Amino acid sequence: MSAPNPATLWGRVLVDELAKGGLEAVCIAPGSRSTPLTVAFAAHPEIDVYSHLDERSAAFFALGRARRTGEPTALVCTSGTAAANFHPAVMEADQARVPLLVLTADRPAELRDSGANQTVDQVKLYGDAVRWYAELPDPEADERKVRSLRTTAARALAETGGPDPGPVHLNCPFRKPLEPLEVPDAVPDAFAETLAGTGREDAFVETETGSMTLEADRLRPLLAALEDAERPLIVAGPADPAAISGLNPEHVVAVADRVGAPILADPLSNLRFGPHVETGSDYRCVYGGYDGYISELPAPDVVVRVGASPTSKPLRHALRDSDARQFLLDPAGAWREATFTATELLATDLGSAFETLAELFENGAAIETDVDEEWRARFDAAERTHWRVRDDALAADALESVDEPFEGAVLATVFEAATDPATIFVSNSMPIRDADRFARPQRADLTVLGNRGASGIDGITSTALGAGSATDDPLVLVTGDLAFYHDSNGLLAVDRCDVDATIVLLDNDGGGIFHKLPIEDFEPPFTAQFKTPHGLEFEPLGDLYGLEFDRVEPHEFGDAYRESLESAGTQVLAVDFESEANHRRRDALQTRVLEDLTVTDQ
Amino acid sequence: MSAPNPATLWGRVLVDELAKGGLEAVCIAPGSRSTPLTVAFAAHPEIDVYSHLDERSAAFFALGRARRTGEPTALVCTSGTAAANFHPAVMEADQARVPLLVLTADRPAELRDSGANQTVDQVKLYGDAVRWYAELPDPEADERKVRSLRTTAARALAETGGPDPGPVHLNCPFRKPLEPLEVPDAVPDAFAETLAGTGREDAFVETETGSMTLEADRLRPLLAALEDAERPLIVAGPADPAAISGLNPEHVVAVADRVGAPILADPLSNLRFGPHVETGSDYRCVYGGYDGYISELPAPDVVVRVGASPTSKPLRHALRDSDARQFLLDPAGAWREATFTATELLATDLGSAFETLAELFENGAAIETDVDEEWRARFDAAERTHWRVRDDALAADALESVDEPFEGAVLATVFEAATDPATIFVSNSMPIRDADRFARPQRADLTVLGNRGASGIDGITSTALGAGSATDDPLVLVTGDLAFYHDSNGLLAVDRCDVDATIVLLDNDGGGIFHKLPIEDFEPPFTAQFKTPHGLEFEPLGDLYGLEFDRVEPHEFGDAYRESLESAGTQVLAVDFESEANHRRRDALQTRVLEDLTVTDQ
């Protein structure tokens, strides 16, 4: 590795090692101090470079790509506030276990806290939100330093992964010249021939990280609890595809079948949809309507939980209010259970745990379980009722026979009419709650993503487009108007990063979710400070970013959506709703489900 | 102070004390966890509430307001990534000494790191970028706790001010109910009658903060140096109005006059414009063209510096390359001098220092100084040449007799045709550099602001609109296309916060400043990764945000600008330029100045 000066050498060595370590993509925002990194990334034949102009959007785009692939995506920015713009996405990556490699250019030590331009304190900028922080040494053609640099690249990639993936921050000081300008003798020819200079054919340090496994004997208490359970339940909370990549859903289904446990699958669990799901009148094991009926069913006595805390508040409350033994299985051994009802925490890789459990059952561990025969039947009945009521509502909407069309119908259609496969990104606030309640389990290979780590609405569009950039799957984004406004800059990636999407915009002019909260009854300040209607008509964003923008009537949505899925380019399908009426509609549907259930029970 | 529950009590007491302490404005982004704060602010009759939907823009708006007034502005957001969106503006406030009071709602301690929704680690979120961080205690109607809360409010405001103003972060945990719902016995009637409950008529703790002053004897070394100087110089770097509010410009002028020192006034020094400036053929003491000619003049031997590091790189280099004694005067005693040529640091309030110096001179301290008689004459000649060359260029542009119109002409016109008074906000990158070189000192009362603390381009529009919200001065924003894109969300404040502005958009389709850097010669990646042309036609943003958007020809700009200044509402005046040709034009003008100076010298 030769270079005209130390800064250029640093960029080239770092990028060379990152590529050898498997890094495939980087998001770069323009800047001067980061020139050595940008030049090296742009010149590398094996790394895809996505250029962004707003660092906040850049970071969420990288987050989305990493969410979808499970592979680290790098981020590059110049010094100063640019780095702080990465902070929201770094936070989400931390909470949601997404591998991000953040490279911030910085002034060298002698210029810090000196009043030098665009110089701020970037040391440990993201606090404890990163898995690892390191400051690169001052660039210099010194063998030990360069070996440390190559090792740091390998280490940084490794630290983004493992059982608890997340963001890593390398702060990278550079001294001028930043461009590939010749500085005589700064990088001697002889240096290029050293091991530090040449590196190895493959990564300087190949890294492998094991995973937590519990051998069969240590799973026996869980097995015994399941055998003894009368009302066992499996709850699958949000988990990105990578988080369950080693988990064979058939093993979960096998365990659930054997012990008679319904699997309540969060829309973000990546277990609600897929080939393991039986549909039709026999729901087999995967249930999706629980948000609407769980409050009416008996409490479980044994619960096995995987993934993060479920989106459904009724489900969280049902778990809280039960006296069940609750087993949390988590590959990082993390305590992600905010109702504090867990009784056992098992730090274990999910794939091996369920494989072992399935094998134990297969080998006759449980000759018979104590499951209550009514238990699964109650869930089946409730599930049927829930979807029947929903389907009736959809039919009414399609006939325009209701006064106020329903946001939930859009969410239902988004999933049922999706292509197979598809990547569906669902925004926070009401869209994910409606997906939770109205998206029926199905066999299609749908990858469902959301920013549910910190549940912000700040980078939704960019995260979705980043996810879309990673595969050839059709991409659908379902978002509300506040999130759409918040990350309107992210739409620039449609063109600059060449992503096609169908963007479903549920436009109810403000924060509809606040109607769910008691603040609804305090006016003022409810409308001005909480609901915050803005009156924005978003069509001009279509013109600005070269997107097709169609405002469709709710009953036309299904056709427009199917057409968009078939079309090239990015379409925004905006559908107007009135949020207060929608909340009343949700309540009414819920009431009908509960009434029907009561009738069935009698 | 009565309240239906502890969270509501917390909000009311805190806001009551902040108002009594003088807080006049708050920027609020909607959210649930922050409900107690939002409800209390919205109900307070003496605090202006600005509602924003993007926390990044909200924070920059608050920054701009505080920049313009020198008074703390508060910020409120909910928990999670919302708080991280404040980070860029907090950084700028830190670097630029702007008083911001950041109030982030948080989950109570028992929900942190538990997987609870929208819960991240907000403790010391902004690291060392804040002057003070405190976590509010859990809300409870306990006398000592509430007295601590009232005291904390007073203290937080005080910590935003003093000799080194800046951001303060209060992290505010709240437990449900967040809304003003009655919780029986939670806040006993008797509590409302206690001192903690009632508070005092005025602030619970009235605070006064002194300032650093150096008595006359301790200023004598500086006085002596100025008396002995042959080539003295006063350099005024960027300083917000509040930073020099105690400084009487006439004192600076008196000192400069007495010792024969030119005052080189940065466009952001708030000393380049104002009633102390003589114009016409006698520039008196305030010089503004130095960026174009300082490299050709003799080196100073004594320099007095106030404010932050100057925008002008030629000036910084001239100071670096001189052997001058350099006195840094700073009210916080900060070491803001990144070329490390300062020889004396004086921690002193600027107003009292210059008043004392002026008095000492007035009282005959310096019977005569050693100033080189040619010294001021050389500056006068250079200044005349600089502005003559500039005026010739403007005339040529107005006649459309040049191939490529010139961005510098727009900056010149923005200042010369501004109303008196006006607030002019200038973006980073090229606009501030062109203002530095082409905005001639004048007597008008122009308040000139920029985000020059960390020099980001991320919140320019919002900062300008925030500044505009604080006064009745007409507001002008000069921005480039990248900054305009970056903070396009900020335009929502035009309507929501009712700010009128004239927005001058210099549109050269990308990062023109990179043409100034050596990376220009490396293609690729110059265009794709540095200049980053985006091809955006911004007109739709006018439609989206209800602004008049006019694309004007460069030679029409003056008339359009004057018309906009007279008009109500916000107008965007976009002027297209070609950045590469503009850099050649800047170089050519510079060459002409230098040639003319050489001829004059011979």
Query: What residues in B contact A543, CB-CB < 8 Å?
Result: 539-540, 543
CB spacing of A519 vs B35 below 8 angstroms: yes
Under 8 Å between Cβ of A571 and A539:
no
Cβ B310 vs Cβ B264: under 8 Å: yes
Question: Inter-chain contact A42–B528, Cβ cutoff 8 Å?
Answer: yes
Q: Which residue matches tokens 């009210």?
A: B331
Q: Are strands B344-347 and A548-551 parallel, antiparallel or unpaired?
A: unpaired
Q: Is residue B602 predicted with pLDDT exceeding 60?
A: no
Radius of gyration of chain A (CA): 26
DSSP B572-600: EEEEE--HHHHHHHHHHHHHHHHHHHHHH
- Non-local CB neighbours of A369 within 8 Å, separated by 6+ positions: A226, A227, A228, A229, A232, A258, A259, A260
**Greater model confidence, A304 or A366:** A304
Residue A283: name the closest of A376, A394, A417 by CA: A376
* C-beta of residue B196 within 8 angstroms of C-beta of residue B143: yes
Q: What is the mean pLDDT of residues B88-110?
A: 97
**Does residue B600 have a pLDDT over 70?**
no
Query: How far from chain centre, in Å, is Cα B562?
Result: 25
Query: Which chain B residue lies closest to A179 (C-alpha atoms)?
Result: B519
Distances in Å between the alpha carbon of A447 and those of A425, A467, A500, B325?
A: 8, 10, 16, 67
β-strand pairing of B475-480 with B422-426: parallel
Q: Is the pLDDT of residue B15 over 70?
A: yes
> Which SS3 state, helix, strand or coil, does residue B560 take?
helix
- Which residues of chain B lie closer than 8 angstroms to A505, CB-CB? none
Per-residue pLDDT reduced to its tens digit, A434-450: 999 999 999 999 999 99
User: Does ipTM come in above 0.90?
Assistant: yes
Question: Comparing C-alpha atoms, which of A467, A551, A568, A548 is closest to residue A25?
Answer: A467
Q: pLDDT value at position B371?
A: 86
Dist CA A432 CA A414 (whole Å): 12
* B109 in A contact zone (CB under 8 Å): no
Q: How far apart are CA A50 and CA A52, in angstroms?
A: 6
CB atoms inside a 10 Å sphere around CB B201? 6
pLDDT of residue B280: 60
Residue A527, chain B, CB below 8 Å: the answer is no
CA proximity to B489, closest of A541, A27, A463: A541
pLDDT band of A326, cuts 50, 70, 90: very high
**Chain B contact for A182 (CB, 8 A cutoff):** no
pLDDT band at B32 (very low <50, low <70, confident <90, very high): very high
Give me the pLDDT at residue A371, please: 86
pLDDT band at B366 (very low <50, low <70, confident <90, very high): low
User: How many distinct helices (H) and strands (E) make up chain B?
Assistant: 22, 18
Query: What pLDDT is recorded for position A365?
Result: 60
Q: Is A442 helix (H, G, I), strand (E, B) or coil?
A: strand
| Range A6-194: architecture per CATH | 3-Layer(aba) Sandwich (3.40)
Q: Which two tokens stand for residue B533?
A: 């042309």
Q: Residue B137: how many CB atoms within 10 A of its CB? A: 16
Up-side HSE of residue A375: CA atoms within 13 Å toward CB?
23
Chain B nearest CA to A7, separation (Å):
13
Q: H-type helices in A132-199, by residue range?
A: 143-159, 189-192, 195-198
> Other C-beta atoms within 10 Å of B202: how many?
9
> Chain A residues with CB inside 8 Å of B496's CB?
534
For residue range B429-442, list pLDDT tens digits in order. 999 999 999 999 99
Closest C-alpha among B73, B56, B130 to residue B490: B56
Q: What is the pLDDT of residues B188-228, one digit of tens each?
A: 999 999 999 999 999 999 999 999 999 999 999 999 999 99
Question: What is the reported pLDDT for A1?
Answer: 85
Based on the number of CB atoms within 10 Å of its own CB, is A261 exposed (0-12), middle (13-18) or buried (19 or more)? Answer: buried
DSSP structural state of residue A463: H
Return the CATH class of domain B381-597.
alpha beta
- Per the DSSP assignment, residues forming a β-bridge with B91 are none
Residues of chain B neighbouring A486 (CB-CB closer than 8 A): 53-54, 489
Query: For B235-257, how does the pLDDT look when each residue is reduced to its tens digit (9 = 90+)?
Result: 999 999 999 999 999 999 999 99
List Cβ neighbours of B199 (8 Å cut-off, separation of 6 or more).
B1, B13, B16, B17, B20, B150
Residue A305's H or E segment, with its range, is: strand A302-306
Residue A367 has pLDDT above 90, yes or no: no
Residue ranges with strand state E in B123-278: 132-135, 167-173, 232-236, 263-265
Give residue-wise pLDDT tens across range A451-499.
Answer: 999 999 999 999 999 999 999 999 999 999 999 999 999 999 999 999 9
Bridge partners, residue B48, by sequence: B25
Average pLDDT over chain B, rounded to an integer = 95
Reported pTM: 0.98
Report strand pairing: A232-236 vs B446-449.
Answer: unpaired
- Residue B396 in this model has a pLDDT that exceeds 90: no
Inter-residue contact A407 to A577 (CB < 8 Å): yes
Angle at A11 between CA A5 and CA A14, to 5 degrees: 130
DSSP code of residue B33:
T
By C-alpha distance, which of B75, B101, B105, B82 is closest to B171?
B105
Q: For residue B455, what is the nearest residue in chain A, using CA coordinates?
A: A118
Q: What phi and psi values does residue B562 have, to the nearest 5 degrees?
A: -60, -40
Q: How many CA atoms lie within 13 A of B210 on its CB side?
A: 4
Could you tell me which of B85, B23, B30 has the C-alpha nearest to residue B59?
B85
pLDDT of B598 = 83
B183 close to A (CB below 8 A): no
What is the average pLDDT across B482-489? 98
Closest B-chain CA to A520: B179
Do the Cβ atoms of B29 and A530 come closer than 8 Å? Answer: no
- Percentage, residues of chain A above pLDDT 90: 91
pLDDT at position B400: 79
Give per-residue pLDDT as tens, B142-160: 999 999 999 999 999 999 9
| Angle separating helix axes B6-20 and B143-160, nearest 10 degrees | 40
| Helix and strand element counts for chain A (H, E) | 22, 18
Indicate the SS3 state at residue B374. helix
Domain A6-194 identical in fold to domain A216-371? yes
**What's residue B599's pLDDT?**
76
Whether B281 shows a pLDDT value over 60: the answer reads no
Contact A529, B38 (CB under 8 A): yes
Packing angle between helix A430-438 and helix A407-416, nearest 10 degrees? 60
pLDDT tops 70 at residue A602 = no
The answer to whether residue A490 neighbours chain B at the CB level (below 8 Å) is no
Distance from CA of B423 to the nearest CA of A (A): 24
pLDDT at A136: 98
Query: Where do the structural domains in chain B lie, given as residue ranges?
Result: 6-194, 216-371, 381-597
Instruction: Name residue A182's amino acid.
Output: E
Cα–Cα–Cα angle for A451, A453, A454, nearest 5°? 90
CA quadruple A533, A535, A541, A547: dihedral, nearest 10: 90
Can you give the pLDDT at residue B93? 98
**A30 contacts chain B (CB < 8 A):** yes
- Residue B325: its H or E element: strand B325-330
Name every chain A residue with its beta carbon within 8 A of the beta carbon of B521.
Answer: 179
- Classify B383 in phi/psi space as left (phi over 0), alpha (psi -120 to 50) or beta: alpha
Q: Residue A455: which of B118, B456, B485 has the nearest Cβ?
A: B118
On whether any CB of chain A is under 8 Å from the CB of B494, the answer is no
Six-digit token string for A87: 């902070």
pLDDT reading at A528 higher than 80: yes
Which pLDDT belongs to residue B283?
A: 55
Q: Is A106 on the interface with B (CB under 8 A)?
A: no
pLDDT tens readout for residues A495-510: 999 999 999 999 999 9
**Ranges B44-48, B49-53, B532-536, B598-602: which has the least confidence:** B598-602
| Cβ–Cβ under 8 Å, residues A9 and A198 | no
For A80-90, write each residue's pLDDT tens digit: 999 999 999 99
Taking the CA of residue B119 and the nearest CA in chain A, the distance in Å comes to 6
- The CA distances from residue B259 to A358, B233, B289, B358, in Å, are 91, 9, 21, 11
The CATH H-level superfamily of B216-371 is TPP-binding domain (3.40.50.1220)
B392: helix, coil or strand?
helix
Classify A164 as helix, strand or coil: coil
Q: Which residue has the tokens 């330029």?
A: B577
Tens digits of per-residue pLDDT, A552-597?
A: 999 999 999 999 999 999 999 999 999 999 999 999 999 999 999 9
Q: Give pLDDT tens digits for A247-292.
A: 999 999 999 999 999 999 999 999 999 999 986 655 568 999 999 9
